[in-house]
Structure 1
């Protein structure tokens, strides 16, 4: 078939050459007639000159057209590029003619006395007419052929059963390409009726004979008025929210919707803009984001000619890395994986892709190794023989509940498998090492996240010690991966339901696999070594919304055909994943979708190596309790669920006693009966260890260390104190109106310590005032930075004043000095004073509050609602409370809304009477939020909106 097309092409080009020759023999005479204003009687005066010019111009134009390859093209598919080439050839011919004629004119006096009679503008008129004639003939023939094919196609699809009337949403390049294919080919049985496009300049215009009848809001009307049978979304780069809106409109009209592949799929080479590649709308389309712009040139320069090793090459991420890397012409790719079937499949796929590459493109050699990364000797053999230049490390255990039940397996693979790889990469001088991590490593509540965090530390430690370009990349869940919820939901829907979800409020970040890998490759270019890169994953998605979308896309209705059942959070599972670890300084890179932590390798635990040795020993003995305890000492924010397999508490205690000191053993023995999974879901705003048992959560007694004045003084001098921030949200508009700061101590040995664990020591040492002034100074500094970077977006940050600080005689002077020092708006600083502080000394408090109010700072009454004799307060202290801008209801009132409903109503009425806004603290569920909104509570703060972020 291909040979016949080429032969036909040659025949047509011979005809085109003959036609062009005839045109050029005539066109010069026409040019002369135009030059003489149609005076045909003057033509005989130029007959010999005209013959010379005709032959001269024709030979030059034919030569340039041949040189530009005009006679080796298949003109049935001619486009704009072909016209540019024709114009370029004619232009070059015109330049040559002008130079030659100028030379002849200069010699006309001696050698060519007659040539001067030839009009000097003749060659320009000839060029313009030649361009019109040559291009017009070709494009006219193309349109004629397409018209004949379209007429034949309409004749063939004349039978009613083959006429599917389609509406094309998107009149851009993709939409017009589809329509053109439908018009020239009858095999698809699709009849384009109209275009829909949001571009107002295209409205009521005709494209390829098809009308643009309106924007997306007209889809429903057009479906009904034009009897549309099917809607095609021809917008590969459209955002998911736009796809969702179109699908909902079509579902209301019971009209099926199909779509082109996303731009990511098209660019990856899987699919193209063809009618054959139209498919049903999938969940990935509804979550689609704007296409990622990847610097392909830099990635190509990094990979071309290199030996690439990919661990976990049979997995979702690893296999996609192999696919995309293969396009950048590496010399060799080594596929390393534990599962033979998955490695076999990706090897077969890559072999097929390589065979389809052009002969002029260098193709990589493929190698496969079945290997467990825990086997150091096997890995060393592979590195010795393969000598990779770049390593992409995607192998890991990632299933959260399974790893929660099998901590030793997670330890040996995620930590020590990574340790084997990175040590060998260093020993064999690997140029770039990229580890694929997860957002679950941030403040983890599960074994998987904690082990991935330690694996990050291992990579960063080697990078820092040996100055290697070793980088860590974090991102969230990927759609379509084997561990994703999407395949599970699809299986449940296919089985008739129900679809099971652990919690109605659970949310996750999602990316498509190609999108994630594109950014991973981009990160390999940006990374200098010893940093953590975080991919921008867009907005988080509620899992329940994801399930509903899948049910609707499958043609069912929620609650009618398929039920959704909530099963409760699984061991180690969080309601949402966090993005930032306290103390890590995230900065934007030259790529808008990638942020980098340049100081990541500077924040490693001092006792990392010693802890790793203990972890290896605990894993060897399958000692899950010891593993959890050791992980907690080096992973900030890790709260173990302790829900793994064990024979008995007594046996575990004996095993732990052999390996840990009395301090750790005491903590573990006191917590054997604690439901840590519930504790892990409690907001980090209030110290978890002081949580009352009203909610069915037991006390969590922990060894309480005492800190000396010297320790605290050192911490203050070295600025070991850091801040967490949590947003305060308007319950109606859902907008953030400010942030509350939370002081934490980043202890070099004990990790992150909450303020309530050292506040008594601060008071006894007398350093609480010094720390208080430093806190105000630091918060105002942060406000100043914000106001400089975002002058049109005011910020408000609140901080808690201690009793000693509130009644300190220098309070007003200190705050005034700091505010003027950083030149910030006083209204950007909000001071929180506990209600008990005001209650115990109302006379002095009134004076201090009046002065602070005059300064212009915001005042917030904190912890309102504890031991409240509301009737007496409302009668005795309205003047004092009216000084405050906001009143913060303590979380104990919010957590038991059923019993405290009357109290909440009274507080709201009291606040409204004094014109004070109310903030509900400790909002953890959507039910609480909805209830508070119904009670006219204005603002909310708590776990539902966000954990405090550094």
Structure 2
């Protein structure tokens, strides 16, 4: 006999005993327990086997032997009540038909006792678990604070009681609703709002904090995490309800991640549109082994392309990606090729063989300090690489070409940003004359990418510090790698030719605050356990990044988080002549290469040392409007409205080209 069937037999036996007990209690209630007429008692006992059989059959029809009664809910109680009422009606009917002599009040009393005992027997396990968790639990349980007294918090509290494998003991609850203060949820007192967190941690000796507000805005979660930081308590988060449906809530609790610290909402994209756009097409990703490129490859493969061609110069990255995608999707639709975008002949051979319909150009040098020391390499890889890829996409009539750009291309103060701005101009030049839809996607820093600030901080914390920050007030826009890639894919749908897509990236993050949060997240106290050291701005580094130049303007797309900057008019013929000269100078290792870049990239401020970089940026006003930042010259700032209209006052349609090349 299986364990489940054994439990069912035990429950049936208990119900049969309950039928007998409820009948005796009904007679005892109707008469004095010592004065029950023997005739009524004999009649009840004579029909008892039939009553037991009737009760078990009806309970079975109402699935009272199939429920998980350790998770008994109101709906289970209602179903039990319905079953008891049906039992009573059938019992009363057949006994009246047989003219059984029993007091009429007996039937009502019997029904009440049967309901109480049937439900009570089923809830007894839950009651036992409740008291076991509160009074019989091991002493090494972690004293836990729950933040959020809503339905999710309530369910979590009860589950922590029931789960014998869980070592959390909930001792207090925090909620911002003032009407809930000093009330109880799951037997636990709600002691106040979020501003009492630190006080409550000391008073209740809290060891772990669980944030159980799945529907909270990212900004609110970030603020709550900030209040929990520095307490040495473990902090976990209950994710969105949709992600907990596959199991118990306690099993879905996760640690605080970087996106929680920054407090920004995820980008919402047209997933169906992206799938229909990519499915069945040949897609080429240059720089496919990098942080952005590899995520592009992952998301593209998930959309079912006819073939994905990964092109990268670094064989180790390419090999790792090949193994990962091969295990998940097989190798039939995957080609991984090694080569440089500088090598026109090699890249042309790729276009000739595979004829890609969609090209995502992610290959580039991106490290600001390194490119300041090797500016010619930045020109070769970024400018020449983009020129080669764009030229071949045009020649082989690819359907779409999307350039991965950066917010450092806006009023650049470093070679990397200036060369990426030139890349954008290359794309806009080809957009004017090509049947290919050329576009660029511009976004800020990517969380967790190789060489980004977050892995550096984590490594410095692991080594015991100090954590190095270039300036106390330096800020950056951040987004996750999947978000950045989602925007790139969405841009493919909106691309008509020449657009620079800009993401509403929310509020800029102060790097010093991020460093403090990361230190606290690792269980340390800033400037006590781990020092934060200010080292000064590096050559070419801005104090505040921008994502839009004032000349570019701004208009909307169908996605409220994705905007389009208008291309700045330029002389395409003059630009191409200057570009060829710039690339030739780079291959000759021209010592004046930065000056040549500055001639091609209006607004590029050449910085040679920290002092100049800092001085330039301290005079630059910083304006933030939902993360869409624009600026004028050093003496004035122009704020462009978030919903600035197009020249026509309408959204861009698929047939329109947003180009302004003279």
TM-score (norm: length of structure 2): 0.71
Equivalent residue for 1:631? 597
Q: Aligned pair in 2 of structure 1 residues 586, 8: CA closer, same or farther (>3 Å)?
A: farther
Q: Aligned pair in 2 of structure 1 residues 422, 188: CA closer, same or farther (>3 Å)?
A: farther
What are the Cα deviations for residues 34-91 of structure 1, in whole angstroms up to 9, with x where unaligned?
A: xxxxxxxxxxxxxxxxxxxxxxxx9xxx9xx9xxxx99x99789999x99xx9xxxxx
Q: Distance in 2 between matches of 1:469 and 1:395?
A: 19
Equivalent residue for 2:501? 533
Q: Is residue 174–residue 273 contact of structure 1 (8 Å, CA) maintained in 2?
A: no
Q: Distance in 1 between matches of 2:440 and 2:9?
A: 60
Q: Distance in 1 between matches of 2:597 and 2:232?
A: 54
What are the Cα deviations for residues 182-218 of structure 1, in whole angstroms up to 9, with x where unaligned?
A: 3342223112334323345665666555554433233
Q: Is residue 262–residue 285 contact of structure 1 (8 Å, CA) maintained in 2?
A: no
Q: Distance in 2 between matches of 1:142 and 1:392?
A: 60
User: Are 1:600 and 2:579 matched, yes or no?
Assistant: no
Q: Distance in 2 between matches of 1:13 and 1:371?
A: 67
Q: Is residue 310–residue 393 contact of structure 1 (8 Å, CA) maintained in 2?
A: yes
* Alpha-carbon shift at residue 476 of structure 1 (Å): 1.0
Query: Residue 621 of structure 1: which of 574, 588, 591 is its match?
Result: 588
User: Are 1:158 and 2:137 matched, yes or no?
Assistant: yes
User: Are 1:395 and 2:374 matched, yes or no?
Assistant: no
Q: Is residue 326–residue 364 contact of structure 1 (8 Å, CA) maintained in 2?
A: no
Query: Residue 375 of structure 2: which of 395, 407, 426 is its match?
Result: 407
Which residues in structure 2 correspond to 1:269-348 (within 5 Å)?
Answer: 274-276=249-251, 278-348=253-323
Equivalent residue for 2:463? 495
Q: Distance in 2 between matches of 1:456 and 1:315?
A: 20
State the secondary structure of the residue aligned to 1:615: helix
Q: Which moved more, 1:289-298 or 1:578-587?
A: 289-298
Which residues in structure 2 correspond to 1:482-561 (within 5 Å)?
Answer: 482-561=450-529
Equivalent residue for 1:578? 546
* Alpha-carbon shift at residue 453 of structure 1 (Å): 0.7
* Alpha-carbon shift at residue 548 of structure 1 (Å): 2.6
Give 5+ residue unaligned stretches, structure 1.
17-57, 87-135, 356-362, 644-673, 685-725, 730-738, 744-753, 756-778, 791-950
Equivalent residue for 1:218? 196
What are the Cα deviations for residues 107-148 of structure 1, in whole angstroms up to 9, with x where unaligned?
A: xxxxxxxxxxxxxxxxxxxxxxxxxxxxx9x99999777667
User: Are 1:370 and 2:350 matched, yes or no?
Assistant: no
What are the Cα deviations for residues 403-455 of structure 1, in whole angstroms up to 9, with x where unaligned?
A: 11111211121111122222222333332322110011011111100110111
What are the Cα deviations for residues 525-574 of structure 1, in whole angstroms up to 9, with x where unaligned?
A: 23322100111122222222222333333333443333333333222222
State the secondary structure of the residue aligned to 2:551: coil
Q: Distance in 2 between matches of 1:304 and 1:206?
A: 53
Q: Is residue 555–residue 644 contact of structure 2 (8 Å, CA) maintained in 1?
A: no
Q: Distance in 2 between matches of 1:375 and 1:534?
A: 30
Equivalent residue for 2:233? 256
What are the Cα deviations for residues 807-865 of structure 1, in whole angstroms up to 9, with x where unaligned?
A: xxxxxxxxxxxxxxxxxxxxxxxxxxxxxxxxxxxxxxxxxxxxxxxxxxxxxxxxxxx
Q: Aligned pair in 2 of structure 1 residues 427, 405: CA closer, same or farther (>3 Å)?
A: same
State the secondary structure of the residue aligned to 1:193: strand
* Alpha-carbon shift at residue 576 of structure 1 (Å): 1.7
* Alpha-carbon shift at residue 740 of structure 1 (Å): 11
Query: Residue 426 of structure 1: which of 376, 381, 394 is its match?
Result: 394
Q: Is residue 543–residue 618 contact of structure 2 (8 Å, CA) maintained in 1?
A: no
Q: Distance in 2 between matches of 1:392 and 1:8?
A: 57
Q: Is residue 315–residue 342 contact of structure 1 (8 Å, CA) maintained in 2?
A: yes
Q: Aligned pair in 2 of structure 1 residues 345, 200: CA closer, same or farther (>3 Å)?
A: farther
Count matched residues. 562
Q: Is residue 441–residue 453 contact of structure 1 (8 Å, CA) maintained in 2?
A: yes
Higher RCO structure (Cα 8 Å, ≥6 apart):
2
Q: Is residue 247–residue 257 contact of structure 1 (8 Å, CA) maintained in 2?
A: no
* Alpha-carbon shift at residue 248 of structure 1 (Å): 5.1
Q: Distance in 2 between matches of 1:506 and 1:11?
A: 67
Which residues in structure 2 correspond to 1:11-90 (within 5 Å)?
Answer: none
Q: Aligned pair in 2 of structure 1 residues 505, 225: CA closer, same or farther (>3 Å)?
A: closer
Q: Distance in 2 between matches of 1:212 and 1:303?
A: 51
* Alpha-carbon shift at residue 401 of structure 1 (Å): 0.8
* Alpha-carbon shift at residue 601 of structure 1 (Å): 6.8
TM-score (norm: length of structure 1): 0.51
What are the Cα deviations for residues 486-506 of structure 1, in whole angstroms up to 9, with x where unaligned?
A: 222222222222222223332
Q: Aligned pair in 2 of structure 1 residues 242, 189: CA closer, same or farther (>3 Å)?
A: same
Equivalent residue for 2:23? none
Q: Is residue 365–residue 378 contact of structure 2 (8 Å, CA) maintained in 1?
A: yes
Q: Distance in 1 between matches of 2:71 and 2:394?
A: 54
Which residues in structure 2 correspond to 1:775-854 (within 5 Å)?
Answer: none
Q: Distance in 2 between matches of 1:139 and 1:432?
A: 65
Equivalent residue for 2:212? 234
Q: Aligned pair in 2 of structure 1 residues 389, 217: CA closer, same or farther (>3 Å)?
A: same
User: Are 1:444 and 2:412 matched, yes or no?
Assistant: yes
Q: Aligned pair in 2 of structure 1 residues 289, 385: CA closer, same or farther (>3 Å)?
A: same
Q: Is residue 374–residue 420 contact of structure 1 (8 Å, CA) maintained in 2?
A: yes
Q: Aligned pair in 2 of structure 1 residues 452, 159: CA closer, same or farther (>3 Å)?
A: same
Equivalent residue for 2:607? 641
Q: Distance in 2 between matches of 1:560 and 1:374?
A: 49
* Alpha-carbon shift at residue 350 of structure 1 (Å): 3.6
Equivalent residue for 1:187? 165
Q: Is residue 502–residue 564 contact of structure 2 (8 Å, CA) maintained in 1?
A: yes
State the secondary structure of the residue aligned to 1:219: helix
Q: Distance in 1 between matches of 2:325 and 2:121?
A: 42
Q: Is residue 239–residue 252 contact of structure 2 (8 Å, CA) maintained in 1?
A: no
State the secondary structure of the residue aligned to 1:559: coil
Q: Distance in 1 between matches of 2:304 and 2:10?
A: 41
Q: Aligned pair in 2 of structure 1 residues 214, 331: CA closer, same or farther (>3 Å)?
A: farther
State the secondary structure of the residue aligned to 1:443: coil
* Alpha-carbon shift at residue 160 of structure 1 (Å): 0.8
Q: Aligned pair in 2 of structure 1 residues 296, 385: CA closer, same or farther (>3 Å)?
A: same
State the secondary structure of the residue aligned to 2:192: coil
* Alpha-carbon shift at residue 634 of structure 1 (Å): 1.9
User: Are 1:610 and 2:577 matched, yes or no?
Assistant: yes
State the secondary structure of the residue aligned to 1:286: helix
* Alpha-carbon shift at residue 12 of structure 1 (Å): 10
